[in-house]
Amino acid sequence: MVATENVAREYKVIGTRPIRPDGLEKVTGSAVYGADIKMPGLVWGAVLRSPHAHARINRLDVSGVSAKPGVLAVMTAEDLPEAEDKVVDLGEGDIDFHYASQRIMASGKVIFRGQPLVAVAATDANTAKEALKLVEVEYEVLKPVINVHEAMATDAPLVLEDLTGDHLGEEVSNTNVAKHFLHEFGDVDAGFASASTIVEHEYDLSTVHQGYIEPHNATAIWNMNNHITIWTSTQGSFAARRQTAGLLDVPESKVKVVPLEIGGGFGGKIPVYLEPIAAVLSKKCGRPVKLLMDRGSVFESTGPTPGAWLRVKMGVDKSGRITAGEADIRFEAGAFPGSPVGAAAKCVFACYDIPNTKVDGYDVIVNKTKTAAYRAPGATQAAFAVETIVDEICDKMGMDRLEFRLLNASHEGTRRSDGPRFPRIGNIEVVEAAKASPHWNAPLEREGPDGRKRGRGFASGYWFNVGLKSSVSMSLNDDGTVALVEGSTDIGGTRASIAMQAAEVLGVSAEDVLPTVVDTDSVGFTDVTGGSRVCFATGAAACAAAQNLIKEMIKRAAMIWEIAEGDVKFEDGNFFAKSDPELKLSFKQLAGRIEDTGGPVTATASVNMEDDRGGFGAHIVDLEIDPDTGKTDVVRYTVVQDAGKAIHPAYVEGQMQGGAVQGVGWALNEEYFMDDSGAMKNSSFLDYRLPTSLDLPPIETIIVEVANPDHPFGVRGVGETPIVPPVGAIANAIYDALGIRLCRTPMNPGRILEALSSGNGK
């Protein structure tokens, strides 16, 4: 571990590796997930989805469904309130209820395959599914557009006929481009004119899915008093409440969301899909309704990360300084506006100090399911382009790849390509740690067994991380433990990291803080578990709540000792009287004497944190490639990342490793394989190839700690940065091994053989 600045403080809990509080329940199968929900009177829902990517609905007849025995309710788009064209902040991105309502249930036209048309509730799951076969639909199939090239063609069919595009501030109709924006700083033309080396490429990236193992689910009760309770797998119970309430046109206070254990999300479980449907069906049949999504629907109807096309150009002068960078970034939004192209524009040149930059971003509507966030959304696509161009520049100039990156590294004060200047960041420290790493300094045998070729790749990456709102409540138990209640759903081990931060402040052990994630009625507003924010922002709320708890305990100690509050101090988990060294109570001792001092001791805190200054990572990968088959094996992989301060290093390492694995899959295997009709042909885990533990070596990690001054312990978010560099690093390793520069994902055996057969290889 590499530490810099302010992180040399001695901690008792921070930096240790306690057993996760939810571990026992998860390994013994007693943890409750959405599929486990049972309750009296529960009935099952099922959803009929469009088989077409683009079609007009000429007739929809559900009369036969209602007549089927066992069917209790039928829902179509007519059962959703008229959604106003209103955009609401979800903390991490916005929701436009006009379009979100159409995503929940189609009306008049289907614009992506898998779009819901009809939902039913029935006494059992099979009856519900069988009932859907009685729905009569007549479609007029329309030509779909399934990538940005088709969507932006002059004669492209319109996906959203009512869309008004924002093209550099001008309102434009009859377009599939929802937004075109431009960031421009310095003089790009002059920058390129002063360059001695210029490299420019175009890149194509396929749509990929987060691949969370647990499918979406929702169970809802709409009570007679018009209160709705929803049990669901979500990254944000309050975000789910806001979306559901908005879509159903009920006050948020009438909706309670109970977050269950979550089997992965990575950004894909921020939008709601089934929750409003379950609620409407429940209202119609007066029973709790449960819906589970199958894997095919997860692929075709939820939010993957977008397919993208990019053109990136960079220029460097004779001294090795980057003089200009230009990017044209076009992202598939899916069937409704809102791709992460803005984030891509923010991150694209973020690792470098470039005086002249120009970035065009396009949010493009296509006949695919609406995209959602996926771990550092947009940044991986951008880094793929920039990091491979940087390597090519180094080759052309004969410069060392890491020396070049250090020479041009962004730092405090560097202006990002979207305008703002960086605060204190750890980019340089990360590249230096990579340069000093055992992996980078290990020799690489170029020839593997049976003629296989080896190559080493490197790439940097940036993700900005966010802050936002979090709330934490605590209550002191008489045995000296502290119950901690939080609203952040736990995807990556945050129960432990939040409890540890509270424990450090309270001077107790990690095991003495008992964290629970609760529903929206039981804790203050908390934004989504996303944007790498929970350990940072909810952790800060936990620290603040712990400080408040101590303030109250100081009052109680003063009462017991009959001295002034100002005469009591708290240090190392003990309360002392400043004026009398004999008066001392440990945290646990005082907890046991609270009863007679005025009742329970509780504390709360809420924060609204500014963004956490961002995280940088650098990845090193060694590949072994069979030039006869194109098969690629990852033989060594190292992740270097700035964590600010690693609260629970094992969880930080787990995030770094998990992000790298997802990036490896994105680079080498994963893609939405679409046919011309807009149907995904590989919508199962048999055909959509996620990497498994059998595909990968142990992933080495190096945690760099450049403290974040905005957090009590210096934390920076760590969840998203590790998926940014892998695609670029692997492309660079393929080039190093074979001499072929691939600019399209996935870089699978077919693409490698195709490139080799064109004669470009070494």
Partner 1 sequence: MATVFIPLPLRKYTAGQQQVVVEGKTLRELVDNLEANFIGIKEKIVRDGRLRPGLSAVVDGRPTRRGLLQPIGEDSEIHFLPSIAGG
- Footprint of partner 1 (CB under 8 A): 87-89, 92-94, 166, 168-170, 179, 181-182, 184, 266-267, 338, 340, 342-343, 346, 373-378, 418-423, 464-468, 530-533, 608-611, 719-720
The continuous run of DSSP H or E covering 310 comes out as: strand 308-316
SS3 633: strand
Q: Which residues, in sequence order, are bridge partners of residue 621? A: 457, 637
Whichever of 552 and 612 has its CB closer to partner 1, that residue is 612
User: Read out DSSP for 587-610?
Assistant: HHHHHTTGGGGTS--EEEEEEEEP
Q: CA angle, corner 583, sides to 582 and 584, nearest 5?
A: 105
Whichever of 293 and 425 has its CB closer to partner 1, that residue is 425
- Prior bond to 420 cis, omega within 30? no
d(CA 256, CA 254): 7
Q: Are 382 and 417 in contact (CB under 8 A)?
A: no
Helices (H), 515-646: 539-561, 587-591
Residue 1 to residues 45, 396, 470, Cα–Cα distance (Å): 50, 34, 29
Residue 531 C-beta: closest distance to partner 1, Å: 3
Whichever of 115 and 721 has its CB closer to partner 1, that residue is 721
Residue 381 C-beta: closest distance to partner 1, Å: 13
Residue 314 C-beta: closest distance to partner 1, Å: 22
Whichever of 85 and 580 has its CB closer to partner 1, that residue is 85
Residue 354 C-beta: closest distance to partner 1, Å: 17
Q: Which residues, in sequence order, are bridge partners of residue 528? A: none
Whichever of 330 and 454 has its CB closer to partner 1, that residue is 330
Give how far the C-alpha of residue 140 lies from the chain's centroid of Cα atoms, to the nearest Å: 37
Residue 377 C-beta: closest distance to partner 1, Å: 5
d(CA 374, CA 663): 11
Q: CA angle, corner 121, sides to 120 and 127, nearest 5?
A: 90
Whichever of 45 and 303 has its CB closer to partner 1, that residue is 303
Whichever of 263 and 531 has its CB closer to partner 1, that residue is 531
Please list, in sequence order, all residues whose beta carbon lies within 8 angstroms of the beta carbon of residue 751, skipping any fewer than 6 positions away.
Answer: 630, 742, 744
What tokens does 28 get? 């013994």
Residue 412 C-beta: closest distance to partner 1, Å: 10
Let me know how long the chain is. Answer: 762
Unique residue bearing structure tokens 């980057």: 322
Residue 526 C-beta: closest distance to partner 1, Å: 14
SS3 248: helix
Whichever of 92 and 490 has its CB closer to partner 1, that residue is 92
Give how far the C-alpha of residue 381 lies from the chain's centroid of Cα atoms, to the nearest Å: 14
Whichever of 93 and 507 has its CB closer to partner 1, that residue is 93
DSSP conformational letter for 165: E
Backbone angles phi, psi at 495, to 5 degrees: -55, -45
Residue 470 C-beta: closest distance to partner 1, Å: 12
Residue 101 C-beta: closest distance to partner 1, Å: 17
- State the burial class of residue 87 (Cβ atoms within 10 Å of its Cβ: 0-12, 13-18, 19+): middle
Q: Are 265 and 212 in contact (CB under 8 A)?
A: yes
What tokens does 184 get? 């421009």
Q: Are 644 and 716 in contact (CB under 8 A)?
A: yes
Residue 344 C-beta: closest distance to partner 1, Å: 9
Whichever of 267 and 480 has its CB closer to partner 1, that residue is 267
Residue 756 C-beta: closest distance to partner 1, Å: 35
Residue 34 C-beta: closest distance to partner 1, Å: 20
Whichever of 88 and 560 has its CB closer to partner 1, that residue is 88
Whichever of 88 and 650 has its CB closer to partner 1, that residue is 88
Whichever of 235 and 497 has its CB closer to partner 1, that residue is 235
Backbone angles phi, psi at 203, to 5 degrees: -130, 140
DSSP conformational letter for 200: E
Residue 463 C-beta: closest distance to partner 1, Å: 8
- State the burial class of residue 564 (Cβ atoms within 10 Å of its Cβ: 0-12, 13-18, 19+): exposed
